[in-house]
């Protein structure tokens, strides 16, 4: 019997929503670093851009996994400019999933072109600022990921391993040499010193072209080897008091942030299926009971709040949002289960 949904279909829906021209246009506008709440809201919307649904617990787990994987990639970038190479690795892998869809392929290539245009010419100093700013977003997140623990890239305290061996970044010399020069710039003395690491020269520079050997492995598919993935809540952050306090941030319903979200959401075009299809629910735990249990026992500090758009005080703002939300095509479907994750969608349906 032919299944009514396919993984290809789900991937296509999510990827084409993510790379939608209007959505990308909004993303590329100069803006401040997203708040955690804003990013989580957008992410949840994207994750539901197909007939696949997730309960709150699975959604939280997926988001944790994405966050820690991305933190790992940004932290371990040998040079700040490598964040762009990591992004290109992401795009290359995504293109591998949608080989048979020329329209979506074109959208991704267009994004590639935009990335090159905007970021290709930035200086090392500008990339360093970008990387430092991204690291602020990930500060104090120490959720343990099974795959990372198994591969020994993460310690049991949730911190990532920073190896002191391997190739140095492109443009850096292997440490250990001191050269001294006279007034004419001629080398007059050379000394070696013991630097403590075990480094080797960089083999070659990764390519920033549309197609090319990126050299860097960060950002390539973590699942190319088949294995289970779990995240651990217990012992995730000993010093919970040190967690970045969002409470000192201004009201998350601040005008600018709502504007930004409205524009981003407006840029997402969710496809309506051709006939009545029941959705399917993705559970990232081994059983439904485990998923329910995870939702109940998730530590307070690690619960994500999705922005409650309906709760805005600003009358004009909510009218504008209502109009934009109305432009979405939300699928009619029987609900398999109600949970917090569905509430946002339900609200939008009722607008």
Does position 151 bind other proteins by CB under 8 A? no
Q: In a 3-state reduction of DSSP, which class is residue 48?
A: coil
**Token duo for residue 109:** 């290539």
Does position 128 bind other proteins by CB under 8 A? yes
Residue from 175, 235, 299, 326 in contact with other proteins (CB under 8 A) = 175
With contacts defined by CB under 8 A, name the span among 97-105, 117-125, 227-235, 313-321 that binds other proteins: 117-125
Q: CB 342 → other proteins: shortest distance, Å? A: 28
Instruction: Give 336's Cβ-side CA count (13 Å radius).
Output: 14
Residues 211-250, mask of contacts with other proteins (x by CB under 8 A): ----------------------------x-xx-x---xxx
Q: In a 3-state reduction of DSSP, which class is residue 331?
A: coil
Does position 301 bind other proteins by CB under 8 A? no
Rounded Cα–Cα distance for residues 164 and 76 (Å): 12
Among 273, 272, 265, residue whose Cα is nearest residue 323:
265
Q: CB 207 → other proteins: shortest distance, Å? A: 19
Does position 156 bind other proteins by CB under 8 A? no
51, 127, 190, 198 from 215: Cα distances, Å: 36, 19, 32, 20
Q: CB 197 → other proteins: shortest distance, Å? A: 6
Residues 40-59, interacting with other proteins (CB under 8 A): none
With contacts defined by CB under 8 A, name the span among 40-48, 51-59, 71-79, 288-296 that binds other proteins: 71-79
Residue from 172, 293, 303, 338 in contact with other proteins (CB under 8 A) = 172
Task: Tell me, rounded to whole angstroms, the distance of Cα 144 from its chain centroid.
Answer: 17
Q: In a 3-state reduction of DSSP, which class is residue 117?
A: helix
Residues 23-42, interacting with other proteins (CB under 8 A): 30, 32-33, 35
Bridge pairing between strands 165-167 and 198-200: parallel
Does position 197 bind other proteins by CB under 8 A? yes
**Token duo for residue 325:** 């939300």
Q: CB 320 → other proteins: shortest distance, Å? A: 18
Instruction: Give 116's Cβ-side CA count (13 Å radius).
Output: 13
Q: Which of 246, 290 has the CB closer to other proteins?
A: 246
Among 58, 202, 83, residue whose Cα is nearest residue 138:
83
Crossing angle of helices 7-18 and 82-97, rounded to 10° = 140
Burial class (CB in 10 A: 0-12, 13-18, 19+), 56: buried
Residue from 24, 115, 174, 222 in contact with other proteins (CB under 8 A) = 174
Size of the site for other proteins (CB under 8 A): 64
Does position 351 bind other proteins by CB under 8 A? no
**Token duo for residue 236:** 């995730």
Enumerate binding residues for other proteins (CB under 8 A). 30, 32-33, 35, 75, 78-80, 123-126, 128-129, 131-133, 135-136, 139-140, 142, 155, 159-162, 164, 168-169, 171-183, 185, 188-189, 191, 193-197, 199, 239, 241-242, 244, 248-250, 254, 256-257, 260
């Amino acid at each position: 019997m032919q299944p009514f949904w396919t993984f290809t279909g789900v991937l296509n829906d999510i990827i084409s929503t993510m790379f939608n021209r209007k959505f990308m246009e909004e993303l590329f506008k100069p803006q401040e670093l997203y708040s955690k709440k804003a990013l989580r809201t957008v992410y949840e919307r994207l994750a539901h851009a197909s007939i696949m649904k997730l309960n709150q617990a699975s959604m939280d787990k997926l988001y944790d996994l994405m966050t820690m994987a991305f933190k790992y990639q940004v932290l371990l970038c040998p040079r700040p400019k490598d964040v762009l190479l990591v992004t290109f690795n992401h795009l290359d892998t995504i293109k591998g999933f949608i080989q048979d869809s020329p329209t979506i392929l074109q959208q991704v290539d267009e994004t590639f072109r935009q990335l090159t245009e905007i970021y290709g010419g930035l200086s090392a100093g500008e990339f360093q600022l970008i990387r430092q700013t991204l690291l602020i977003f990930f500060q104090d997140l120490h959720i343990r990921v099974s795959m990372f623990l198994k591969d020994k890239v993460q310690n049991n305290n949730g911190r990532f391993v920073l190896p002191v061996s391997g190739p140095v970044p492109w443009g850096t010399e292997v440490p250990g040499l001191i050269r001294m020069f006279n007034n004419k710039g001629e080398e007059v003395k050379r000394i070696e010193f013991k630097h403590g690491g075990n480094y080797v020269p960089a083999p070659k520079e990764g390519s920033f072209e549309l197609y090319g050997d990126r050299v860097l492995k960060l950002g390539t598919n973590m699942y190319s080897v088949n294995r289970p993935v779990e995240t651990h809540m217990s012992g995730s952050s000993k010093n919970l008091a040190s967690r970045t306090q969002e409470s000192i941030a201004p009201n998350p319903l601040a005008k600018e942030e709502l504007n930004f979200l409205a524009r981003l959401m407006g840029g997402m075009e969710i496809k309506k299926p051709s006939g009545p299809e029941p959705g399917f629910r993705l559970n990232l735990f081994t059983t439904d009971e485990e998923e329910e249990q995870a939702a109940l026992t998730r530590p307070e500090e690690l619960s994500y709040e999705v922005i409650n758009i309906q709760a805005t005080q600003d009358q004009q703002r909510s009218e504008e949002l209502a109009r934009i939300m109305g432009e979405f095509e939300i699928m009619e479907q029987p609900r398999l289960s109600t949970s917090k994750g569905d509430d946002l969608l339900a609200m939008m349906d009722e607008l």
